[in-house]
Structure 1
Amino acid sequence: MTYESLAARTGIPLPPTFVRLLADGKTRYGDDLADWKANWCDYTVRAQPLLSCAYDLEWIGPEQAGEIVEHWLNPGFQNARAFLPFAISGAGDAYCLMKTAAGDVGVGLIWHDRDTSAIESASFDNFVFETLVESAADFEHLLDDFSPEHARDCVRANVSVAAAYLPANLNLALEDMISPQSLDEENDGGMISSAVAEAALSVSPPFERERFAVVPRWQCNER
């Protein structure tokens, strides 16, 4: 199983940025499990994998993505709607590439135990960008393992790594977001204010979330 074969199976083309991240190893957790367990702290602060600063997001490989499609997010279970998972939450919710109403490829978080979800990002690039902005505004989840200073370093490292992959307008917005004049030095749980976050997000065209029905995972196991 590869992401290319999964894309062909689901009919959802892989975004170029996602393909490049895969090819460059930017979604990998070290060389192997032992390496990750021994060095996860250093890897996380250095943005390996990309979005290491994000709350409750774990990249997955094509084999696990294929299992999710087979047993849960299968068009046969999901009212003919197709999904291409690329990450999960700790509870097993799935971050997925999906076709939008306009025929583009957006990103949604599909809840494993709810009967509705939504496409929340207009593209994979926007998803990465929005996740970085959210992490800069609120990195309290990182404080279980890191100091506020190291949490800021983690966000900065992720923005730096993302610069090689995101479009210029999104990179410029991220640079402005973490510039010295934009930083919120009084907040130990984040490095920018909500106003700075909103200003950064405003560079993307408005996208109306597309809600849809979902058959919860446990119900698919009964079919």
Structure 2
Amino acid sequence: MTYESLAASSGIPLPSILVRLLADGKTRYGDGPADWKANWSDYTRKAQPLLSCAYDLEWIDAEQAGEIVENWLNPNFQDARAFVPFAISGAGDAYCLMATATGEVGVSLIWHDRDDSAIQAASFEHFVFEQLVESAADFEHLLDDFSPEQARECVLANVRAAAVYLPADLNLALEALISPQSLDEESDCGMISSEIAKAALSVLPAFEQERVAVVPRWLCDKR
């Protein structure tokens, strides 16, 4: 199983940025379970994998994605709608590539126990950008394992690592986000204010979230 085969079977093309992240090993957790267990703190703070600063997001490999499609987000279960999962939450909700109403490839978090979700980002690159902005505004979730200074280090490392993959306009917005004029040095839970975050997100084109009907995972074997 590969992401290329998942894309081909679903009819959903892989975004070029995701292809590059996969090829560069930027969605891997170290060099295997033992390496990750021994060195996860250093890896996380150094943006390995990318979006290590994000709240409740765990990258998955193609085999895991294929299992999710086979057992849950299968067009046969989901009224012919196709999905390509690329990450999960701690509860088993799936971050997926999906076709939008206009035929583009957007990103949705599909809840495992609800009968609907929403396409929340117009593209994969917008999704990555939004995750970085949200992490800069609120990194409280990192404080279970890191000091505020280390959490800032983690977010900054991710912003810099993402610069290799994101388009120029989004990189300019991220540079402005972490400029000395934007950073909040007083807060222990975030690097920027909500106003700065809102201004950063305003560079994205307007996108109205599309609601999507989803059969919950636990009902799929009963259809």
Tell me the distance in 1 between the aligned counterparts of 2:212 and 2:41.
38
Structure 1 position 12 matched with structure 2 position 5: no
Q: How far does residue 221 in structure 1 lie from its aligned partner after superposition?
A: 2.4
Give the match for residue 159 of structure 2: 159
What is the TM-score when the length of structure 1 is the normalising length?
0.99
1:65-80 equivalent positions in 2, closer than 5 A: 65-80=65-80
Match of 2:182 in 1: 182
Structure 1: distance between partners of 2:2 and 2:130: 27
**Aligned pairs (5 A) from 1:173-212:** 173-212=173-212
Distance of 1:125 and 1:36 partners within structure 2: 26
1:74-96: CA deviation from partner (whole Å, max 9, x where unpaired): 11111111100000000000000
Between the aligned partners of 1:117 and 1:215, the Cα distance in structure 2 is 10
The alignment covers a number of residue pairs equal to 223
**Unaligned 5+ residue runs, structure 1?**
none
Offset, 1:137: 0.4
| Gap regions ≥5 residues in structure 2 | none
- Residue matched to 1:61: 61
Identical-residue share of aligned pairs (%): 79
Q: Tell me, in whole angstroms, the C-alpha distance in 1 between the residues paired with 2:80 and 2:25.
A: 32
Compute the displacement of 1:187 (Å): 1.2
Q: Does 1:32 align with 2:68?
A: no
Alignment of 1:81-120 (within 5 A): 81-120=81-120
The answer to whether the aligner puts 1:143 opposite 2:143 as a matched pair is yes
SS of corresponding position for 2:181? helix
CA–CA separation in structure 2 for the residues paired with 1:60 and 1:88: 7
Distance in 2, matches of 1:175 and 1:133, equals: 11
Alignment partner, residue 50 of structure 1? 50
Distance 1:178 1:193 in 2: 11
Where 1:107 maps in the other structure, the secondary structure is: strand
TM-score by length of structure 2 reads: 0.99
Q: Secondary structure at the match of 2:63?
A: helix
3-state SS, counterpart of residue 69 of structure 1: helix
The Cα of 1:210 is off from its aligned counterpart by: 0.4
> Whole-Å Cα distance in 2 between the matches of residues 34 and 12 of structure 1?
34
- One-letter amino acid of the counterpart of residue 220, structure 1: C
SS state at 2:222 partner: coil
State the one-letter code of the partner of 1:101. Answer: A
| CA shift digits 1:177-199 (9 cap, x unpaired) | 11111011221110100000011
Distance across 1 between alignment mates of 2:104 and 2:113: 26
Task: Note the alpha carbon deviations across 1:147-198, whole angstroms, 9 max, x for none.
Answer: 0000000000000000000000000101101111101122111010000001
Matches of 2:157 and 2:143 in 1, distance apart?
16
2:19 and 2:133 map into 1 onto residues whose CA distance is: 22
Task: Name the CA distance, whole Å, in 2 between partners of 1:175 and 1:52.
Answer: 19
Check if 1:216 corresponds to 2:216.
Answer: yes
